[in-house]
């Protein structure tokens, strides 16, 4: 399957053509042929701005129809209200049939029809519930809306629809966990999120450099973080540190598995790496390893046990994937970054068996330092100043956290900041000298 078109690279190449012709690298005829080829490619590709405008337009049309219906809503009888509730949905279905039959190759048409369908489904559910006084919570409404909307994502192959669905799952789990008085049921979030994963995999197969992959990756990571937080909070078994370490490590490893040598770090690997760094800094605090619960496994309810197992699936999957790749000799990833779930498990065992949160925190301080050093080394080997600076930033963040988490004097803290800042300057100076000499 062809990769998505990189418009930025095309613009750069077309801007370089006059210089290449002047330097004798290519002929004027070659430059003209390249210009005509990429002009035709860009004309065939969907305009991103037009896609956004089409989605916004369809949303506004749906909102306008709702307002027109609501104008005289209280004066209408129940049968008429019910009929009007389904009117936007029938219109959306008719538009959807037209798009699938006549405009199936047009991305803006598919996106507009999909968004209109999603809005119409939600409108019909809410208006019918209000007309017949159907009891239920906001979480119940969102659950039905999500289940009825996911087929639209696959039917219209809509990126905006998938994004709206992922945002909807996040809204559902936040409402279920923090605003609803009925707590059980957070585990269903993972079922909702799992339903959109095949579509995300399809987008990833098309290429990891397009806006759709980057946007959906960000939405999935954010939604998953909220869902994992709700799951861990409901489980109450002190597995949060291990779960989040495995969560970000798994995303990082999958992103690196999809990484192509000719491309910069893709969005999923980048988000996973950032998550690993932030998690490592957070877990370097002693307070994160103090046991908050003395509840034993036998005292947990079945839903809490399921939530605990669900949270532990992420570190288990990350450790297995890293181990399998290492055994096959495919160490395409940072070993330190991929090791964070294993280190988190060891730290949790130390805190639990030895009853010492300080030793667990010390272990993670050492781990974070090693992580920063390895990132610097990988950046130097790859001649990537961004990766090297990221490693230095991890070490700087660790130093910053320890300076304000300990009883060090202002003199010691000042010296520490000077040392870290000097390391930044020296590393960047060395990189720039290497580039000039190259």
Predicted pLDDT of residue 288: 86
236: Cβ contacts below 8 Å, ≥ 6 apart: 292, 293, 295, 304
C-alpha 231/C-alpha 240 separation (Å) is: 9
Query: Over 70: is that where the pLDDT of 263 sits?
Result: no
Domain boundaries, the chain: 1-45
Predicted pLDDT of residue 165: 94
Render pLDDT for 197-219 as a digit per residue (tens, 0 to 9): 999 999 988 877 778 899 999 99
Neighbours of 330 (CB within 10 A): 11
pLDDT confidence bin for 223, thresholds 50/70/90: very high
Contact in structure between 46 and 15 (CB atoms under 8 Å): no
Contact in structure between 69 and 87 (CB atoms under 8 Å): yes
What are the CA-CA distances from residue 367 to residues 123, 288, 323, 324 (Å)? 51, 15, 18, 22
Residue-wise DSSP of 144-176: HHHHHHHHHHHHHT-HHHHHHHHHHHHHHHHII
Predicted pLDDT of residue 73: 57
What are the CA-CA distances from residue 222 to residues 186, 219, 317, 339 (Å)? 16, 5, 19, 22
pLDDT confidence bin for 279, thresholds 50/70/90: very high
Render pLDDT for 76-122 as a digit per residue (tens, 0 to 9): 667 777 777 787 788 888 988 998 888 888 888 888 888 888 888 88
Query: For residue 292, with 0-12 CB atoms within 10 Å meaning exposed, 13-18 middle and 19 or more buried, which class applies?
Result: exposed
How high is the mean pLDDT of the chain? 79
pTM of the entire predicted model: 0.78
Reduce the DSSP state of residue 409 to 3 states and report it: coil
| Higher per-residue pLDDT: 62 or 373 | 373
Render pLDDT for 121-137 as a digit per residue (tens, 0 to 9): 888 887 777 777 777 77
Report, in this order, helix, strand and coil percent for the chain, each rounded to 5: 80, 0, 20
pLDDT confidence bin for 2, thresholds 50/70/90: very low
Predicted pLDDT of residue 179: 62
C-alpha 299/C-alpha 306 separation (Å) is: 13
Looking at residue 404, the DSSP 8-state letter turns out to be T
Residue-wise DSSP of 229-297: HHHHHHH-SS-HHHHHHHHHHHHHHHHHHT--TTSPPPHHHHHHHHHHHHHHHHTTSGGGGS------G
pLDDT confidence bin for 390, thresholds 50/70/90: confident
């Amino acid at each position: 399957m062809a990769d998505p078109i990189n418009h930025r690279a095309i613009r750069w190449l077309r801007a370089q053509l006059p210089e290449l012709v002047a330097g004798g690298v290519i002929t004027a005829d070659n430059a003209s042929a390249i210009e005509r080829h990429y002009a035709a490619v860009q004309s065939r590709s969907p305009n991103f701005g037009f896609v956004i405008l089409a989605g916004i337009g369809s949303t506004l049309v749906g909102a306008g129809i709702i307002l027109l219906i609501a104008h005289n809503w209280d004066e209408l009888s129940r049968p008429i209200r019910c009929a009007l509730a389904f009117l936007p949905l029938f219109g959306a279905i008719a538009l959807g049939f037209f798009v699938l039959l006549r405009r199936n190759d047009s991305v803006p048409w598919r996106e507009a029809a999909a968004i209109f369908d999603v809005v119409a489904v939600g409108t019909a559910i809410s208006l019918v519930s209000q007309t017949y006084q159907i009891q239920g919570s906001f979480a119940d409404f969102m659950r039905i809306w999500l289940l009825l909307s996911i087929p639209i994502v696959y039917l219209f192959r809509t990126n905006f629809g998938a994004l709206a669905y992922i945002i909807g799952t996040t809204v559902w789990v936040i409402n279920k966990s923090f605003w609803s008085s009925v707590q059980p049921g957070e585990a269903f979030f993972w079922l909702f999120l799992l339903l959109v994963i095949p579509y995300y995999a399809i987008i990833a197969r098309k290429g990891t450099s397009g806006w759709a992959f980057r946007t959906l990756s960000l939405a999935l990571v954010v939604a998953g973080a909220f869902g994992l937080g709700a799951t861990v909070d409901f489980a109450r078994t002190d597995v949060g540190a291990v779960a989040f370490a495995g969560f970000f490590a798994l995303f990082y490893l999958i992103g690196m598995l999809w990484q192509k040598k000719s491309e910069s770090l893709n969005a999923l690997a980048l988000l996973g790496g950032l998550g690993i760094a932030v998690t490592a800094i957070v877990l370097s605090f002693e307070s994160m390893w103090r046991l908050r619960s003395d509840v034993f496994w036998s005292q947990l309810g079945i839903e809490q046990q399921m939530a605990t197992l669900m949270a532990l699936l992420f570190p288990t999957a990350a450790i297995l994937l890293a181990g399998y790749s290492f055994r096959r000799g495919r160490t395409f990833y940072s070993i330190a970054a991929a090791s964070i779930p294993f280190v988190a498990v060891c730290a949790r065992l130390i805190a639990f068996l030895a009853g010492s949160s300080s030793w667990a925190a010390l272990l993670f301080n050492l781990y974070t330092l090693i992580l920063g050093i390895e990132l610097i080394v990988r950046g130097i080997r790859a001649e990537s100043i961004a990766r090297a600076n990221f490693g230095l930033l991890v070490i700087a963040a660790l130093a910053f956290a320890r300076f304000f988490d300990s009883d060090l004097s202002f003199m010691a803290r000042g010296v520490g900041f000077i040392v870290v800042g000097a390391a930044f300057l020296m590393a960047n100076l060395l990189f720039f000298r290497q580039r000039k000499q190259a």
